[in-house]
Amino acid sequence: MSDRKSSISKARSYEEMGEYWDTHDASEAWDQGAPVEFEIDIKSDKRYYPIEKTLSQKLTQIARAQGVSAETLINLWIQEKIALAK
């Protein structure tokens, strides 16, 4: 059995693998990869909180301007606020 860690880069260490992918693109070896299947189990809790209509409209405008969803922006802002509260 080979001691290679990667069939595409022929790397023998993670460092060599990193060096290879620093200078190569995955599209160059797309046909060399094997198909894989995996499941992702993202656990999130949905809770609904009322927001004043004008705040919701402003939030949506800011989110659009930043290229994210309102939900993402709310989560980022709440994370920042909680981090500051510690």
Please indicate, yes or no, if residue 38 is contained in any of the structural domains.
Answer: no
Please indicate, yes or no, if residue 41 is contained in any of the structural domains.
Answer: no
CA distances from 62 to 37, 48, 50, 65 (A): 38, 20, 18, 5
Q: 1: helix, coil or strand? A: coil
Please indicate, yes or no, if residue 73 is contained in any of the structural domains.
Answer: yes
What is the CA 9 to chain-centroid distance, rounded?
24
Please indicate, yes or no, if residue 39 is contained in any of the structural domains.
Answer: no
How many distinct structural domains can be found in the chain?
A: 2
Contact 12, 20 (CB under 8 A): no
Contact 20, 11 (CB under 8 A): yes
Residue numbers in the chain where pLDDT is lower than 70 = 1-5
Largest CA distance in the chain: 65
Please indicate, yes or no, if residue 15 is contained in any of the structural domains.
Answer: yes
Please indicate, yes or no, if residue 46 is contained in any of the structural domains.
Answer: no
What's the pLDDT at 1?
36
Whether pTM > 0.75 for this model: the answer is: no
Please give the residue range of the domain that contains residue 74. Answer: 53-85
pLDDT for 25-34, tens place per residue?
888 888 887 7
